Homo-oligomer: A and B are copies of this chain.
Amino acid sequence: MPQPKTRVVILGAGFAGLEAAKILKRAPVEITLIDRHNYHCFQPLLYQVATAALSPADIAWPVRHILRSQENATVFMAEVIGIDGEARVVKTRAGAFPFDFLVIAIGAMHSYFGHENWAAVAPGLKWIEDATRIRRSILSAFEQAELTGDDAERKRLLTFVIIGGGPTGVEMAGAIAEVARETLARDFRRIDPRTARIVLIEAGPRLLPNFTEQHSSYARDTLTAMGVDVMSSSPVLQCDERGVDLADRRIEAGSVIWAAGIMASPAAQWLSAEHDRAGRVVVRPDLSLQGFNDIFVIGDTASVKDASGRPVPGLASAAKQMGNYVGKLIAARVAGQSLPPFRYRHQGTLATIGRRTAVVELGHIQLRGFIGWIFWSAVHIYFLIGLKNRFVVAITWLWSYVTFKRGARLITEVPTVPAE
């Protein structure tokens, strides 16, 4: 009778979890990959869905389709509700899954720093649903502005506030500016979309704090030239349905977008594990959980330090490296071997600022402007999974670039308006 195979359960089909599953392709294990969505989402391009340049299906693919040829992997769409580390069982709404090895890669969610009620008025950008919600909010603001007869209300509707000056905030501000100044410029009769005000608010002293100071200044100057109002050293004190309050002023706004903070998903709670301020689970040098040699936490859910003691950043490339490491470690352990501790290798950081500018930092190589944008585009198209999507994305981008059009300008799922 053959020995039962080692059961590897992976939670989360993001960059980290998917990479771990793929690395285990040839290992003598049975992989169960569980995600509450049926798709893997290419998060770095979500802002393009939120600003109507790409459709959701251009940046997301069914997980089971990605792994269709990997015979040792089974994919389930189910929501995890708890983990029993002692009994080695994952509990989901659709039943329990026992494991020999567990890989937790469930990513992060938005943090409103204790103001969780702001989530209702200032949506963040983590999932497809967030992106279509923000798209609906931005496009509806222009529609309502065209309808209103009230000047103050029109001005409020045409004010877009983005909170958070990291890559996502910079990308959103640049893209909304282009939507208003180029894409929609001629589409309205009563309003001039070019008069829209886009405000990017950063609590700290500079944009893109993880980039060099030169690139921070460059991003600020480029956005300002695009007509974005950049406010640094401006913590937001209050968000409500009609705008935001800063220390020295109030900004009335029709749309507020949250790009300021994330926190880890609830893995630490499930496991009663040690975690950092952002809820990330503190792991050992081999990414395993203290007290559990066979439970690993990776990607945005884990708090990991690099060789020089700095925290590993929440980038796709870091998540992939961790997935790769844990996959190899499990394969080694199954074969009775071991591996040296995980070592993060920084591959670089990129951020776009609008339609033809980007900043790129790859160790000694630093690019900016149009050449940076070309590099950024090439890298993103390269990493997109699946030939068809790569091709469609390339065409769609080329089209947008040539014409300034954005093809996915649909306001779907119109919220029901209460009867008057």
What residues make up the interface of A, taking CB atoms closer than 8 Å to B?
36-39, 55-58, 60-62, 64-65, 68-69, 74-79, 81, 93-95, 128-129, 132, 139-140, 143-144, 146-149, 186-190, 388-389, 391-392, 395-396, 399, 403, 405, 407-414, 417, 420
Whether the pair A409, B143 counts as a contact (CB closer than 8 A) is no
**CA of A258 to CA of B13, assembled, Å:** 34
Whether the pair A405, B417 counts as a contact (CB closer than 8 A) is no
Copy count, this protein chain: 2
Whether the pair A413, B410 counts as a contact (CB closer than 8 A) is no
Whether the pair B62, A409 counts as a contact (CB closer than 8 A) is yes
| Closest Cβ–Cβ distance, residue A50 to chain B (whole Å) | 13
**Chain B residues, CB < 8 A from A186:** 68-69
Partner of A143, one of B77, B187, B388, B399: B77
Whether the pair A396, B407 counts as a contact (CB closer than 8 A) is no
| Closest Cβ–Cβ distance, residue A11 to chain B (whole Å) | 15
**Chain B residues, CB < 8 A from A139:** 38
9 tightest Cβ-Cβ pairs between the two chains A and B: A57-B408, A55-B55, A77-B143, A74-B189, A64-B187, A94-B147, A38-B411, A62-B409, A55-B57
**Chain B residues, CB < 8 A from A38:** 139-140, 143, 409-411
Whether the pair B410, A399 counts as a contact (CB closer than 8 A) is no
Given contacts A38-B139, A57-B407, 14 further A-B contacts (CB under 8 A): A38-B143, A38-B410, A55-B57, A61-B407, A62-B187, A62-B409, A69-B186, A74-B190, A78-B147, A79-B417, A95-B147, A128-B410, A132-B412, A388-B399
